[in-house]
Structure 1
Amino acid sequence: MGADHTRPAPSAPPGVRRILVATVVPLFVATVIAALVLWPWDSPETDPGTEPPRHHGTVTRVVTEPCPPAPETPEGTPGAAGGPCGTVTVRVDDGPDAGQQVETPVPDGPGAPTVAVGDEIILVELTDPADPSASTYNIAEHQRGKPLVWLVVLFAAAIVAFGRWRGLAALAGLAASFAVLLAFVLPGISAGQPPLLVAVVGAALIMFVVLYLTHGVTAQTSVAVLGTLGSLVLTGLLGTIATAATHLTGYGSEDATTLSMFQADVDLHGLLLAGIIIGSLGVLDDVTVTQAATVTELAHANPELSRRQLYRAATRVGRAHIASTVNTIVLAYAGASLPVLLLLTADSRAVTQILTSEFLAQEIVRSAVATLGLIAAVPLTTGLAAVVTTAGRRRAAPADADATPAPPVPRPAPDRAEALEALSAPRAGNTSPATPDGWPDRDRSTDAAW
């Protein structure tokens, strides 16, 4: 669902534009100031020496062989994996051993890559602590750079081919979103700043840049900006209340637990709220832009609609939009947490205990809070759009205010006989045969005439 942006929206009256500027500009300035205050100027840099060197390589030979027998283990104890075993010959493409052939064991274990001759892979160089001069190579994973580049090129080409200049603007907005996330949100949270505050400020920055860049600097876009910002703040408040009421700690996933081991100063509870804010932003933009555009198009199609009629008609569109978007949000969270949901069938506990556990309660709170924020965005944005669209309307007044308007002249009653005679008379240049009663042949096709 979307709006037709090929025709520019009607210009708002000067007074309305001044009010929107006086509202939006201070909010933008406050967002920029908050971003500068929270900016991670002294964020710690990762020490590159802690990670083993990684090099590109190409598989030239794969030799598999039977695995040696596993040592006997007590009954009931899981034994060793049954393979695969063998060696892989790899040509090193960069690093100190570039051009040389090295042998590595066949990757084994959960999630190990399956390699074949010609595959481009990533080698990890491991140094023997007892002899630093001796090193071995292991295959870590496949190189994914080329497939990802082609996928991104196809993605960008499709957007530009369909959206043209607006598609280019959308790509620029997407790049700006990633720039804000990578340069401000993630480093700010890593530096120990409050995750919820960083997420709200970062989402506001993304919103200002993306909406105005993609949809232009118009009153309609400003209404979408105000509706999105209000819904984001409400989503943050609802998320804070919901996570406090359910006593969520943020340790509901293995990733969060691993992060706490590497960065103990990260507020995982705040990180959970930040994820809700960032995850809701994309869908909020869609809803608010659609509602603002719907009100504008309805007012353009029928300028006689009152503010209340515009609000009711656009709200009906919003209800249909929300009905489909709610399912989108829930399925998006469910798809991202599919391994967690599979525990419902593997866990021996009661279903009620699993649903109220930390990891599933966290996903329920995410979906519910994001949906409530979306529902609030529809009346908020629609109401603002209806006020802005109908502001400045002036009904035409008569030339002489004291003069009594002339009564409407009644239309003459139609003469049935004259109407039938006019319909039955042959048209100029019409040579088609007529029936005895004067009507054209009813079996003759009229497609050519129309």
Structure 2
Amino acid sequence: MKHIRILLIAIIFLLAGTMARAPEGEAAQHPEGEVFRARVLEVKETTGESAVQDLVKTSQLITVEILTGPLKGKKIEVPNATTGNPAYDLHFQPGDQVILWAEMENGRLRDVFISDYARDRYTRYLAIAFILCLFVIGGRKGIKAVVTLGITGLAIAFVLLPLLLKGYNPIGVTVLVCAAVSALTFAVVGGINNKSIAAIIGTTGGVLVAGLLAFAAGTAARLTGFAEEEAAMLLYIPQETFFDFRGLLFAGIIIGALGAVMDVAMSIASAIEEVKKANPSAGRLTLVRAGMNVGKDVMGTMSNTLILAYTGSAIPMLLLFMAYQTPLLKVINLDLVATEIVRALAGSIGLIIAIPITALTAGFLINRPRKRRFVAKKYPEAPASRGRIKQAEVPEPDGWANYPRPNNLPHR
């Protein structure tokens, strides 16, 4: 029943987000084209000179068979031109699956071109392998992990993004969604208990600290929120939403730090619970110290995880700076670089702050004395230490005097 209630809460949380879908406009309701999956059947190539020096232009006439949509099974020829630029060129072979972008008119193809390779098949295989690993190694915990991943993905797709697209405050919406996701995740994985409550409080505290630090540092450093070109493209979307681009930047920092903070918080809360089970007489101070020791061990590796993750995504940019020997003073003051520095450091500080918050909360909650339940025993052979029951409260059946009694129970 407990897990059913948790899942019902998650469903209500997700359904509430369906009311916050993107604003509907003429451009949103009537897309300019349709997308189809197709298979390459034949490729005819011709070679010529490119307008760009030292590059060779290749034209391909590709015969494809449409695999999806109302035109499924139809075979068409699609031209494909390459210029020798590997960043934009697409080269196809028979058997490849591709994505077509088609403009339709009265149910017929007016214009069609190849948009990209069909890559989803291979990412789907990788996702299946990931889920199988969770099932095989994690068992029931792995199944719960898959459920929480689904909740997180649905919350982002049907709650967070639609609310942001409607122009709601990015920081407020993100904090609320992250708090709800962390609560549901911990409840599903660990159940509703003191350990999960401590992890939720620690995660929320760490994420709030990361968001506040990012906001303060970003405002002081005058970060624009336009460090990535996709942010500038939001100015021209059909919904004509007015975005708080700095808020979107800080919201991204909060989401980026959430996973690592959740990991640290649950590790500390679980460690404190295990210490309490192994040593029931351990006091709050002992539990807090144990949690802090675990947190200190985890702190270094998880901080490296955040910083290395952000550095890994910026390797081409860093190589570019090194190749052109750009002065360090110029590099660290660029909007893009300063944004990544604030992102990594704010997330790491939030992770560190989550350690004492979780340790203190878990040490207090897990060490709370539990109420003892006293149940009357019907049979006298039950040990007296299992229930503090007055002798007068125990019903005596017929023939009680002849029934063997333990030594610690008085005769009448």
TM-score where L is the length of structure 1: 0.72
Which deviations, in whole Å up to 9, do the C-alpha atoms of 1:169-191 show, x marking residues without a partner? 11111111111111111000000
Specify the alignment match of 1:341 in structure 2: 318
Q: Which residue of 2 aligns with 1:380?
A: 357
Moved more, 299-308 or 232-241: 299-308
Paired amino acid for 1:385: A
Which stretch shows the higher mean deviation, 255-264 or 369-378? 255-264
Q: 2:133 aligns with which of 148, 151, 158?
A: 158
How far off is 1:386 after superposition?
A: 1.4
Q: Secondary structure at the match of 1:386?
A: helix
Give 2:328's match in structure 1, choosing from 351, 366, 372.
351
How far off its partner does 1:80 sit? 8.2
Indicate whether 1:44 and 2:44 are aligned: no
1:66 alignment partner, SS class = strand
Residue type matched to 2:195 in 1?
A: Q
The structure 1 residue matched to 2:77, chosen from 103, 112, 115, is: 103
Residues 163 and 345 (structure 1), Cα distance of their counterparts in 2 relative to 1, 3 Å cut? same
Q: Match of 2:353, SS? A: helix
Cα distance in 1 between the residues matched to 2:270 and 2:208: 22
Q: Decide which moves more: 100-109 or 165-174.
A: 100-109
State the AA in 1 paired with 2:355: V
Structure 1 residues 173, 79: closer, same or farther in 2, change over 3 A? same
**Counterpart pick for 2:40 among 43, 59, 64:** 59
- The residue number in structure 1 matching 2:206 is 231
264-273 or 193-202, larger mean C-alpha shift: 264-273
| Counterparts of 1:133 and 1:392, CA distance in 2 | 73
The TM-score, its normalising length taken from structure 2, stands at 0.78
Q: Name the counterpart of 1:215.
A: 190
Of the three residues 323, 326, 351, the one matched with 2:300 is 323
Aligned partner of 1:184 in structure 2 is 159
| Deviation for aligned residue 1:53 | 2.2
The equivalent residue for 2:247 is: 270
* Aligned-pair CA distance for 1:107: 4.5
Partner of 2:149: 174
Structure 1 residues 90 and 234, CA, compared in 2 at 3 Å: closer, same or farther? Answer: same
Query: Are the structure 2 counterparts of residues 147 and 41 from structure 1 closer, same or farther at C-alpha, using a change threshold of 3 Å?
Result: closer
**Distance of 1:133 and 1:37 partners within structure 2:** 36
Aligned-partner residue type, residue 205 of structure 1: A
Shift in Å, 1:238: 1.2
Rg bigger for which structure?
1
- 5 Å-filtered alignment, 1:42-441, equals 43-44=23-24, 47-67=28-48, 69-70=49-50, 78-79=52-53, 81-95=55-69, 97-108=71-82, 109=85, 110-126=87-103, 135-262=110-237, 263=240, 265-347=242-324, 349-392=326-369
Q: Percent sequence identity over matched residues?
A: 27
Instruction: Report if aligned partners of 1:107, 1:114 keep a CA contact under 8 Å in 2.
Output: no
Q: Secondary structure at the match of 1:54?
A: strand
Count of residues paired in the alignment: 354
State the superposition RMSD in angstroms. Answer: 2.9
Range with bigger deviation, 163-172 or 305-314? 305-314
The verdict on how the C-alpha distance between 1:285 and 1:96 changes in structure 2, with shifts beyond 3 A counting, is closer
Mapped to 1, the partners of 2:312 and 2:342 lie a distance apart of: 16
Equivalent residue letter for 2:223:
L
Residue 243 to residue 299, structure 1, CA distance change in 2 (3 Å): same
SS in 1 for 2:20: coil
Structure 1 regions of 5+ residues with no counterpart? 1-28, 72-77, 395-450
2:254 aligned counterpart, secondary structure: helix
CA distance in 2, matches of 1:200, 1:206: 10
Shift of 1:289: 0.6
Unaligned residue ranges in structure 2 (runs of 5+): 1-8, 372-412
User: Do the aligned partners of 1:38 and 1:193 also contact (CA within 8 Å) in 2?
Assistant: no
How far apart are the structure 1 equivalents of 2:246 and 2:54? 39
CA distance in structure 1 between the aligned counterparts of 2:210 and 2:135, rounded to whole angstroms: 33
Q: Distance in 1 between matches of 2:132 and 2:158?
A: 26
Q: Which amino acid aligns with 1:180?
A: A
In 2, the alpha carbon distance for the partners of 1:170 and 1:127 equals 43
- Kept in 2, the 8 Å contact 1:315–1:378? The answer is yes
Distance of 1:127 and 1:282 partners within structure 2 = 43
CA contact (8 A) 2:47 2:56 kept: no
Match of 2:60, SS state, is strand
Q: Please tell me whether the aligned partners of residues 57 and 81 of structure 2 are also in contact (alpha carbons under 8 angstroms).
A: no
Shift in Å, 1:97 = 4.8
Q: Structure 1 residues 232 and 354, CA, compared in 2 at 3 Å: closer, same or farther?
A: same
- 1:178-216 per-residue CA deviation (whole Å, 9 max, x = no partner) reads 111111110000000011111001101101111101111
Tell me, yes or no, if the aligned pair for 2:17 and 2:162 is still in contact at 8 Å. no
When structure 1 is superposed on structure 2, of 185-194 and 78-87 the one drifting more is 78-87
Partner of 2:380: none
Is the 2:207–2:350 Cα contact (8 Å) retained in structure 1? Answer: yes
